[in-house]
Structure 1
Amino acid sequence: MKASDLFVRALENEGVEYVFGIPGEENLDLLESLRTSSIRLVLTRHEQAAGFMAATYGRLTGKAGVCLATLGPGATNLVTAAAYAQLGGMPMVMITGQKPVKVSKQGHFQIVDVVDMMQPLAKYTRQIVSADNIPARVREAFRRAEEERPGATHLELPEDIARESSDAIVIPQSYSRRPVADDKAVHRAVEAIRGAKRPLLMIGAGANRKTSSRMLRAFVDRTGIPFFTTQMGKGVIDETHPLWLGNAALSDGDFVHRAIEHADCIINVGHDVIEKPPFFMRRGLRTVIHVNYLAAEVDTVYFPQIEVVGDIANTIWRFAETIQAQPQWSFEYFDTVREHLCEHLARNADDARFPIHPVRLVAEVRKAMPDDGILCLDNGMYKLWFARYYRCTQPNTLLLDNALATMGAGLPSAIAAKIVKPARKVVAVAGDGGFMMNSQELETAVRLGLDLVVLLIRDDAYGMIKWKQAHMRFANFGMDMGNPDFIAYAESYGAHGHRPDSPEAFAATLAHCLDTPGVHLIDLAVDYSDNDRVLNHEIQALSAAVQPPP
């Protein structure tokens, strides 16, 4: 069998449905093998976008998404996407081409050491030097990408190797179960929870798996222990649940941090230090129990006293089987915090100003989106508002990046989400800065015939950094920019452009776009003047007023 055919056969053996990317001269044999396969090539306009799509596919399915690039500049364009998948815990396999490795024809033209370049960004990176090695390399790349903690892997297929012949056969996927936690570790954690007076549950990105979500809901319902989430843990348990205490969108000082300060035992499920800290540990104040697939990575703000390392769902099931509500547990203060939080979150939801207030923006999106609808956030000021105010009822319905936190991922992520979940409503949420970093993928969405809404939140600046610049008392410098006519821009790709001029018009426009086929871009002007008042002064003052009992 030709090596490129063997490579594609190995991809099919892994259950690959899509390859996202841009081929080059060095991929032509592989491209021909893909043409006659069951795998669909999704041609993108930039390799970075292809990587974001593959990572999002992995995030939503648990199976490694696959992206393709040529050598040199094509491969280097995958670097940001590799870091996005690696830090975000999203399974992804990158395939890049290379010049012939046995006989050089063009010296070092376009050649960089891509394998070495990917070393710090991927769990596994290899050049394939023999057709006979293809089955083993592909199997290992997928195994490494998908095992906990998921991440990025990379294979380089040189063009002369792709043309070789081989009688090797693909290696079947092995049956595997994740190790479960040690009984003594589970017992020690159980005793700590039982002996606490004010236990609290924290849910991080690593718990955002189907089985873990079910077990965590059962644990909360059985024990009555209140919970909060990190940004990437949103929706693991329905956030309309009466025991929900909010989201750690801010690092400190929010209502949820008053509850954290009052807790004497925090069950920290699925968090690692790559995600922005949901709270800061201080020595001697409380017991923190680390529940995760891997041991804790200790740093200055995270040093758990008890670690329960193993399959998360199994650990939480064992907790739920052995822990009942204890007579000394006291949650009255947590109830008070939640009441004040919900009252605060409702403020400004009907604000009539235009450009639109961020709270009104989030409120209108929440009203328009079905519970299983998927929002794919780029990175910008709006991310804090959505993380705090958008209450998810299902897992993976608010896809945001709180690990690499790169701009440019919102639209590509939404394209992948719509491909994976075609029956669901999907909205990309992007600022004007992040949108323009991969705006060319509008053509991809139109060409694929997707029904997709792009909510472009425009402040004509790099708004997040502008806010921080002002907050740190620097002069306003280097943040403001011009923009194209986004309506004409969208229409030039064959998409539909909309520019509402009031909150009411925005609500009507969003409803229309969600129910009308095609790609729709909504150019929505936003007023960020309340950033500091709401996210700093008001939260600090109001949450500080919620005093715990002596």
Structure 2
Amino acid sequence: MTDQRPQTTRQTTKASDLFVQALEAEGVEQIFAVPGEENLDLVESLRRSSIKLVLTRHEQGAGFMAATYGRLTGKPGVCMATLGPGATNLTTPAAYAHLGGFPLIMITGQKPIKTSKQGQFQIIDVVNLFDPICKMSKQIVHGNSIPSLVREAFRLASEERPGAVLLELPEDIAEEPCEAPVIPPHARHYAVASDSAIADAVALIRTAKMPLVLLGAGANRKHARSAISAFINATGIPFFCTQMGKGVVDERSELFLGTAALSDNDYLHCAIDRSDLIINFGHDVVEKPPFFMEDGGKKVIHVNYKSAQVDQVYFPQVEVVGDLAASVKKLCDALGGGCDFDKVYFNTVKAEVEKHLGEGVDDPRFPVTPQRFVADTRRAMGDEDIIALDNGIYKIWYARNYKAYEPNTVLLDNALATMGAGLPSAMAAAFLNPDRRVMAICGDGGFMMNSQELETAIRMKLNLVVMVLNDSSYGMIRWKQAGLGFEDWGLEFNNPGFVAYAESYGATGHRIEATDDLVPTITAAFETGGVHLIDLPVDYSENQKVLIDELASKTCLL
């Protein structure tokens, strides 16, 4: 007797095509990449897809752009490189995303794994190399596993705490036929904090006399601003932020005390030391807490998506774990009214902070001092405009002196704190926000690490201003060298003519020759559009004087 049941035929698909279909199902619209020959099947599949290939000039540029895309959207950014040296060039962006909490998917190629006639040429164990700095690092060994691995990669990269994921696609796997269907993504929701945790937090807040709110990096990752602003306004509790928590709440608020840009001996630390309760919204131990916990000292409430990572200086007494915005709203509702806090001393600290930050904002000296170029940047940028900082001593000046009015308008890295990320990060921000002014602010050392991406920015037709703070040295390390009492030695270098360098790529170059020219030059550059580089000579002689000597002599008197 013959079987009369209908026979179903599964469609065969080339593995690289299936990979791209899985990416499309995840909503991927672009991949930042420096491909190699091991990626060519995937490149051909991308050519026939809806996904745009953004070719960069170095794998770091691709990785930093993709990580910043993830940072700003909450959806994993995707980058691609080949095997060996291409893959190793993604290690710094992977660590950047891993420590910073940015969702990132990295796709790397590999020689054939079934048969190969090339010995060990360019072959290293990429999967194990990346494992310590990724949430998942996997080699794809069969095309049929692609849909599940891609779905899992996006789930892991984007869920709290976000981070990097690597998928290695060998070239013989990329070309093989497979039959597995794409797995579509589905909505996920974070749990709400328990009633008992809320009750414990309320009890601590009601017994506190001088509480403070700390806003950390996690509060900038999701849209928690409304709930946190409502909590601060309802309770009247003063707040401060870490460097990566800037802009979560409008820093023009009368309750804002400042940014914890220095480890200690700043005015803000006087308030922290006097406080008896710190309420942490979104704090991440990647940014070391700007206070030290001791037995019998101040109490700490940890409010975040995940429980606290405990160490010697951070062991909160109460943890409110769940969706951050929902937890903050629930906490605010449970508190109601009736809290009576002593803010007299905090108001004294705020007055001193405001007075201190107002010093030097109109300093006419040239080369330009940090207080002046930070103030002029704020004058030139609107409320929702974005600055993306590379890493150097100027990052401390901007964190302390530049007030952020909106979330994610000050993009800085206080986690890996790598040099070379400022320009690619600004490029990703400009790509995502074509109607907002975006400025990359780089030291001359950090800028030259990925300056070749100027060509990418021009090819992408971005509107972007790049301000290079020129002191012909690694200024942050010179500052530390001087602070330790060592001789000023070994950290100076020569720069190219930055105007000619920018113009060789097709950008417009500007050299600032007088301090009063900075704001008009920035404004004109944005009004003209396109890519502009501003070469700004800077004077860092204020570093030791203001950030160490003056603060040490003044803060102890508060």
Does residue 337 of structure 1 match 2:327?
Answer: no
Task: Write the letter of the residue equivalent to 2:357.
Answer: L
- Are the structure 2 counterparts of residues 255 and 325 from structure 1 closer, same or farther at C-alpha, using a change threshold of 3 Å? farther
Give 1:325 shift: 4.5
Q: 2 CA distance for matches of 1:543 and 1:100?
A: 63
Determine the structure 1 residue equivalent to 2:10.
Answer: none
Q: How does 1:106-505 map to 2 (within 5 A)?
A: 106-326=118-338, 328-505=340-517
- Contact 2:74–2:222 (CA<8 Å) still a contact in 1? no
Task: Write the letter of the residue equivalent to 2:20.
Answer: V
TM-score (norm 1): 0.98
Q: Identity across aligned pairs (percent)?
A: 60
Does residue 516 of structure 1 match 2:528?
Answer: yes
Q: 1 CA distance for matches of 2:499 and 2:35?
A: 31
Give 1:105 shift: 2.0
Q: Secondary structure at the match of 1:492?
A: helix
- Contact 1:276–1:403 (CA<8 Å) still a contact in 2? no
Q: 2 CA distance for matches of 1:129 and 1:105?
A: 18
Q: How does 1:62-81 map to 2 (within 5 A)?
A: 62-81=74-93
Determine the structure 2 residue equivalent to 1:94.
Answer: 106
Give 1:295 shift: 1.4
Determine the structure 1 residue equivalent to 2:68.
Answer: 56
Q: 2 CA distance for matches of 1:318 and 1:277?
A: 25
Give 1:271 shift: 1.1
Q: Secondary structure at the match of 1:439?
A: coil
Q: Secondary structure at the match of 1:436?
A: helix
Q: Secondary structure at the match of 1:277?
A: coil
Task: Write the letter of the residue equivalent to 2:507.
Answer: A
Does residue 30 of structure 1 match 2:42?
Answer: yes
- Contact 1:429–1:455 (CA<8 Å) still a contact in 2? yes
Aligned residue-pair number: 546
- Contact 2:499–2:509 (CA<8 Å) still a contact in 1? yes
Q: 2 CA distance for matches of 1:111 and 1:210?
A: 39
Q: 1 CA distance for matches of 2:311 and 2:195?
A: 26
- Contact 2:55–2:456 (CA<8 Å) still a contact in 1? yes
Q: Secondary structure at the match of 2:192?
A: coil
- Are the structure 2 counterparts of residues 327 and 58 from structure 1 closer, same or farther at C-alpha, using a change threshold of 3 Å? closer
Q: Secondary structure at the match of 1:208?
A: helix
Determine the structure 2 residue equivalent to 1:4.
Answer: 16
- The C-alpha deviation readout for 1:306-363, integer Å capped at 9, x for no partner, is 1112211111011110114545411111111111111110000000100001010000
Give 1:459 shift: 0.6
Give 1:304 shift: 1.3
Give 1:420 shift: 1.0
Q: 2 CA distance for matches of 1:277 and 1:222?
A: 25
Q: 2 CA distance for matches of 1:264 and 1:243?
A: 17
- Contact 2:219–2:248 (CA<8 Å) still a contact in 1? yes
Deviation beyond 3 Å, 4+ runs, structure 1: 324-328
Q: Secondary structure at the match of 1:521?
A: strand
Q: Secondary structure at the match of 2:201?
A: helix
Give 1:211 shift: 2.9
Q: Give the gaps of 5 or more residues in structure 1.
A: none
Q: Secondary structure at the match of 1:191?
A: helix
Task: Write the letter of the residue equivalent to 1:447.
Answer: R
- Contact 1:58–1:64 (CA<8 Å) still a contact in 2? yes
Give 1:282 shift: 2.8
Q: Give the gaps of 5 or more residues in structure 2.
A: 1-12
Q: 1 CA distance for matches of 2:223 and 2:81?
A: 34
Q: Secondary structure at the match of 1:453?
A: strand
Q: 2 CA distance for matches of 1:329 and 1:190?
A: 14
TM-score (norm 2): 0.97
In the alignment, which of 83, 90, 105 is matched to residue 117 of structure 2? 105
- Contact 2:198–2:334 (CA<8 Å) still a contact in 1? no
- The C-alpha deviation readout for 1:445-492, integer Å capped at 9, x for no partner, is 111111110000011000000000001001112111111111111010
Of 326-335 and 230-239, more deviation after overlay is shown by 326-335
- Contact 2:366–2:539 (CA<8 Å) still a contact in 1? yes
Instruction: Give the aligned CA root-mean-square deviation in angstroms.
Output: 1.0
- Contact 1:19–1:41 (CA<8 Å) still a contact in 2? yes
Task: Write the letter of the residue equivalent to 1:280.
Answer: F
